[in-house]
Amino acid sequence: MREYHDHPLVGVGVLIIENGKILLVKRGNEPNKGLWSIPGGLIKLGEFPEEAAIRELKEETGLNAIIEKLLGVFNIIIKDNDGRIKYHYIIIDYIGKLIGGELKPGDDVLDAKWFDISELKNIQISPTVIKALEKIKKEKNLVNT
């Protein structure tokens, strides 16, 4: 059970963008069930974040990647109707480079798919995807100025 913990849970994700397409999974569990999200999950005890990110990517998509760099650390805090914190995740997202595998949704996701970046306005994406893409855009603008 991941609801109403007395501490944040730490998760990881791997953002992969290749040839103008972004890899997303449709979440099968709360929070954000049914939304398209960056592939990832929780870190296991004794596991390094980068290892967890690669493991979760493989479990959710069937794909293999290497970590290129840290994208950022994001918080997901969702409160219930009474104002109590129902979910609190600290998500460490990485940018990855695809190195193999075959795209196949894992057991804990509803689907896994490549999307053209222009398609994102037509699908329901998680707030973390929006934050991650805004961060990438901001960094590119800083580099180009």
CA distance 145 to 143: 6
Domain positions in the chain: 9-144
Max CA separation in the chain (angstroms): 46
**Would you give the distance in Å from CA 33 to the centre of its chain?**
13
Res 145 pLDDT > 50: no
Q: What percent of the chain has pLDDT over 90?
A: 77
Condensed to tens digits (0 to 9), the pLDDT of residues 41-65 reads: 999 999 999 999 999 999 999 999 9
Q: Are 53 and 92 in contact (CB under 8 A)?
A: yes
User: 31 - beta bridge partners?
Assistant: none
pLDDT at 11: 96
The H or E element that residue 29 is part of is: none
Angle at 53 between CA 71 and CA 46, to 5 degrees: 120
The answer to whether the predicted template modeling score (pTM) of the entire model surpasses 0.85 is yes
Q: Over range 72-98, report the average pLDDT.
A: 95
- Give the Cα separation of 50 and 73 in Å (integer): 13
For 32, the token pair is 């954000």
- 21-43 average pLDDT score: 94
The per-residue pLDDT for range 91-127, each reduced to its tens digit, is 999 999 999 999 999 988 999 999 998 899 999 999 8
Q: Please give the pLDDT value at position 30.
A: 83
Task: Kindly indicate whether the domain formed by 9-144 is annotated with CATH number 3.40.250.10.
Answer: no
Q: What is d(CA 66, CA 3) in angstroms, rounded to the nearest whole number?
A: 31
pLDDT of the residue at 58: 98
Q: Residue 66 has what pLDDT?
A: 98
- Residues near 80 by Cβ (< 8 Å), separated by ≥ 6? 86
Which residue in 96, 111, 78, 125 sits closest to 13, CA to CA?
96
In 1-145, beta strands by DSSP E: 9-15, 17-18, 21-27, 36-37, 40-42, 63-79, 85-101, 109-116
143 pLDDT above the threshold of 60 = no
- From the number of C-beta atoms within 10 Å of its C-beta (0-12, 13-18, 19+), residue 121 rates as exposed
